[in-house]
Amino acid sequence: MQRRQLMQWGAALALSPWLVRSASAGSARAAMAPAVPPDAGALGLVGSLPLPEPKRLPLERRDGALHGCLSASAVSLPLLPGRPATTFWAYNDSVPGPAIELFEGESLSLRFDNRLPQPTTVHWHGLPIPADQDGNPHDPVLPGQSRDYRFSLPPDSAGTYWYHPHPHGHTAEQVYRGLAGVFVVRSRNDPLAHLAERWLVLSDLKLDSDGKIAANSEADAMDGREGQFVLVNGAWRPRLALGRGERQRWRIWNATSARVLKLALPAHEVWLVGTDGGLIEKPRRVESLLLPPGARAELAVTGRFDAGKPAGLLALPYARGKMMGPEQDEALLLLDIEAGAAVETAALPSRLRTMAPLPKPALRRSVVFSEDMSNPAAMFLINGRTFDMDRMDFTGKVGVVEEWEIDNRADMDHPFHLHGTQFQVTERHDGRGWRREPYLAWRDVVNVPPGQKARLRFRQDLPGPRMFHCHILEHEDAGMMGTLDVRA
Ligand SMILES: [Cu+2]
């Protein structure tokens, strides 16, 4: 297969789906449907509405745990005014799914009902919980069936997590049809508790000319799906008010299938205060932030009024080794900054958390990402193989520090993700040399561009099979995944 040609074809398709579809549709269809340019205005998607708050999952406290119900089913939601509703797959009829918020030390007991036509699981992305509760592809919930997910949140687990399906071969479709929700674990000693919080769940939407969620094309399956729209809390390009001088704490989730988002807020003061697994040691001033698929960040944002600069959250151009992605700045969220008197905001604490670097590893392993475009059955590989449900790729031990070197010998970025724990990136190799990671952070996703490497350390505190995979969901489904069997 000629990859370069396919990518070019894919790029053209992605940039002008309506034009391609109108041209190829039958004459009766073409006569009925006007040729619609591929933008939100023509489709009727309405932007500039106030940012919706994610709904909360109702939880009831009894017998020392919080109890709730979660279901996955098809739901029709009005997306385009004056057109039939769009069918999503959703948790509790909501896109994004209902937010779950708990404190460290609390226990959760959820009844889950699968009302989808496919097997599914609920994976608690990033949480240090038992393997048999973590929605592994080995534990599918079949259509029409139910199960309980039960786990407790250990001390020092405060952070920004999410939940999404993880069945083998159907993850990408289930997520792009709308199945994803956020999960926040709070600390009772939170140094940023005084800041107003905003939650921004970034997801991808690709519609066909009928306003339906489009199936993945061959190019999507290869490059990772990027639709026409990035939604924030299920809304396209919504508005958020930020007072001049007001400092807010933003939690941002990249819940898209494949976009590596290079986020920026020109004109405003932005500090990185947290990563996937919670706060970092000290706030770090940032000009932009690379958030790969699956990853999260916490920012402290202070509104500055600057009439000359766009007031909004932008996705800057980023080339992830393929011919898709924004070629110019793309506004994700519009900010309303008042030009009047500045709001007084308390200073950011200089220390947020104490973190110790993980000690020297007892064990080192190598994880090599590669692509074989000549073999459609095994195109995306880890250490030369595709995922096998019945194979344990590595055997580890509870409490033992491991160091993994992720080596991307493929042609596009592959974001590495590990289940069951958080890791510390220690060094990155940019193709020329190794560079020490400039600060300590708990992460569960690290983006590795082609020709580059990353070294990370972790410890698994609970036994059981743990998945590791590329978080471009189409690559995961194609088998770019392995299993680490953690023995007690
Ligand atoms: Cu990948």
Predicted TM-score (pTM) of this structure:
0.90
CA of 248 to the centre of ligand 1 (A): 33
- Which structural domain, as residue segments, surrounds residue 21? 3-39
274-300: average pLDDT:
98
CA-to-CA dists, residue 319 to 234, 294, 346, 398, 431, angstroms: 25, 18, 38, 38, 16
For 120-177, the pLDDT digits (tens) are 999 999 999 999 999 999 999 999 999 999 999 999 999 999 999 999 999 999 999 9
CA of 255 to the centre of ligand 1 (A): 15
The CA distance from 267 to 272, in Å, is 16
Predicted confidence at residue 40, as pLDDT, reads: 57
Residue where one domain finishes, among candidates 186, 211, 228: 186
The bridge status of strand 239-242 relative to strand 453-459 is unpaired
Residues 203 and 326 in one domain: yes
The CA distance from 296 to 274, in Å, is 8
The CA distance from 483 to 73, in Å, is 29
Whether residue 255 contacts residue 164, with contact meaning beta carbons closer than 8 Å, is answered with: yes
Which two tokens mark 348?
């950011």
In a domain, 166, yes or no: yes
Whether residue 471 contacts residue 417, with contact meaning beta carbons closer than 8 Å, is answered with: yes
Strand order in the sheet with 363-371: 380-382, 363-371, 401-408, 453-459, 423-429, 434-436
Residues 408 and 381 in one domain: yes
Residues 176 and 201 in one domain: no
In a domain, 354, yes or no: no
Predicted confidence (pLDDT) at residue 7 exceeds the cutoff of 70: no
Whether residue 76 contacts residue 85, with contact meaning beta carbons closer than 8 Å, is answered with: yes
CA of 185 to the centre of ligand 1 (A): 28
Residues 308 and 200 in one domain: yes
In a domain, 355, yes or no: no
Cβ atoms within 10 Å of 397's Cβ, excluding its own: 15
- What total of structural domains would you count in the chain? 4
Residues 376 and 441 in one domain: yes
Which two tokens mark 352?
């947020």
Q: What is the DSSP letter of 171?
A: H
Of all helices (H) and strands (E), which one includes residue 333? Answer: strand 330-337
Omega of the bond prior to 96 within 30 degrees of 0, cis? Answer: yes
Predicted confidence at residue 10, as pLDDT, reads: 25
CA of 416 to the centre of ligand 1 (A): 8
Q: Which long-range contacts (CB under 8 A, 24 or more apart) does 21-28 make?
A: 21/208, 21/209, 22/209, 25/209
Predicted confidence at residue 46, as pLDDT, reads: 77
The bridge status of strand 65-77 relative to strand 394-397 is unpaired
In a domain, 351, yes or no: no
Q: What is the DSSP letter of 57?
A: P
For 362-417, the pLDDT digits (tens) are 999 999 999 998 888 899 999 999 999 999 999 999 999 999 999 999 999 999 99
CA of 373 to the centre of ligand 1 (A): 13
Predicted confidence (pLDDT) at residue 316 exceeds the cutoff of 50: yes
Q: What angle do CA 252, 85, 72 make, to 5 degrees?
A: 55
Residues 407 and 476 in one domain: yes
283-287: average pLDDT:
97
* Residue positions counted in the chain: 488
Residues 179 and 240 in one domain: no
In a domain, 55, yes or no: no
CA of 453 to the centre of ligand 1 (A): 14
In a domain, 242, yes or no: yes
Burial code (b: 16+ CB inside 10 Å, e: under 16) for 198-211 equals: bbbbbbbbbbebeb
CA of 476 to the centre of ligand 1 (A): 7
Residue where one domain finishes, among candidates 126, 153, 186: 186
Residues 159 and 129 in one domain: yes
In a domain, 383, yes or no: yes
Residues 154 and 257 in one domain: no
Rg (CA), the chain: 22
CATH number at residue 475: 2.60.40.420
Predicted confidence (pLDDT) at residue 325 exceeds the cutoff of 70: no
The strand ranges marked E within 357-429 are 363-371, 380-382, 394-397, 401-408, 414-418, 423-429
Residues 138 and 212 in one domain: no
Residues 212 and 177 in one domain: no
For 77-119, the pLDDT digits (tens) are 888 777 788 999 999 999 999 999 999 999 999 999 999 999 9
In a domain, 47, yes or no: no
CA of 225 to the centre of ligand 1 (A): 11
CA of 470 to the centre of ligand 1 (A): 5
Of all helices (H) and strands (E), which one includes residue 21? Answer: helix 17-24
CA of 472 to the centre of ligand 1 (A): 5
Residues 138 and 33 in one domain: no
CA of 352 to the centre of ligand 1 (A): 33
